[in-house]
Amino acid sequence: METLSENTCFGGTQGVYSHASDACKCDMTFGLFLPAEAKDGPVPVLWYLSGLTCTHENAMTKAGAQAWAAEHGIALVFPDTSPRGEGVADHDDYDLGQGAGFYVNATQKPWAPHFNMWDYIAEELPALITENFPIDADRQAITGHSMGGHGALTLAMNLPGRFRSVSAFAPISNPTGADWGRKQLSAYLGDDEELWAKHDASLMMAETGFDGPILIDTGTSDQFIDLLRPEALSTAIAARRQQATMRLQPGYDHSYFFVSTFMEDHVIFHAEALYGA
């Protein structure tokens, strides 16, 4: 692992690191914020998964999460959204290929050699971080925006016991039922739609739910709301009687102005779960 930068931030340290990934078979970069409490021992961690076209840097510099994480003594992990570099497959469309990993393990050409973001986020990066930094692996939570909200919800429901809480900002909630999802899932996983189900938050909610609290915010003026399909997830949550809060925020769009506005709410929500009994 190589340290690319470390800056003092709200009494803690905002670092950026790179490493050779076995899962993605390329070098990967991630951001990690450690609060001041990390100097005295392991701290709980909140994972933030970014959306389409983003890198580790977008939320790290735009979401304003460090201020609230520092207040509650929580570490933040900002992974990249896909493998990158020479020899990694890409596409002319912004919503497929580099920057658009969709947090799945691809099985189809030309994506399969590198696009194993599920294994990277679920296994490889957590192991790397807990081995090298003072992170309490027993106190983890996860959130994300858009494609990252999709990843946060599906990872949380597919990895029971891993995360104490999950939240999302404008998540892609029903990718098997919208163009943001069917296009990518067929490209990465093939045409067998049974293999898509574990990557659809609405279907996973109907099948398994989540053993903990959920918070979801979506803006009513989100320009992509028809692709996000929050109503599908809301229906599944109601049918399952899942512990969850879904909020439609009037006037907000899909941007980081929206994310940063409600970041404090989400960090407090996770802090209550991470420091609870």
Q: Give the helix ranges, DSSP H, for 1-81.
A: 57-62, 65-72
Series of mean pLDDT values for 10-residue runs along the chain (277 residues)? 98 98 98 98 98 97 97 98 96 96 98 98 98 97 98 98 98 96 97 96 97 98 98 98 97 98 98 90
Which of 222, 234, 266, 270 is the catalytic position? 222
pLDDT value of residue 276? 85
Beta-bridge mates of residue 135 = 43
Catalytic annotation on 167?
A: no
Tokens of residue 27, six digits:
């070098």
Structure tokens at 67: 């201020």
User: In whole angstroms, what is the distance from residue 12 CA to residue 252 CA?
Assistant: 31
Q: How far apart are CA 153 and CA 149, in angstroms?
A: 6
| Token digits of residue 26 | 């390329």
Is 222 one of the catalytic residues? yes
CATH of residue 31's domain is: 3.40.50.1820
- Containing domain of residue 109, as a range? 2-275
Q: Which of 146, 167, 173, 234 is catalytic?
A: 146
What pLDDT score was predicted for residue 277? 58
| Cα–Cα dist 243/247, whole Å | 14
- Our CA dihedral for 212, 162, 95, 108, rounded to 10 degrees, sits at -130
- Name the token pair of 96: 């497929």
Residues 6+ apart with CB under 8 A from 233: 153, 171, 173, 174, 201, 202, 205, 216, 246
Tell me how many domains the chain contains.
Answer: 1
**Active-site entry in 56, 114, 150, 254:** 254
Instruction: Measure the CA–CA gap between 226 and 170, rounded to whole angstroms.
Output: 11
Burial class (CB in 10 A: 0-12, 13-18, 19+), 230: buried
Q: Known catalytic residue: 254?
A: yes
Overall pTM surpassing 0.75 (yes/no): yes
Task: For residue 252, report the phi and psi dihedrals to the nearest 5 degrees.
Answer: -85, 145
Buried-state track 169-184, b at ≥16 Cβ within 10 A, e below 16: bbbbbbbbebebbebb
On whether the CB atoms of residues 169 and 258 are closer than 8 A, the answer is yes
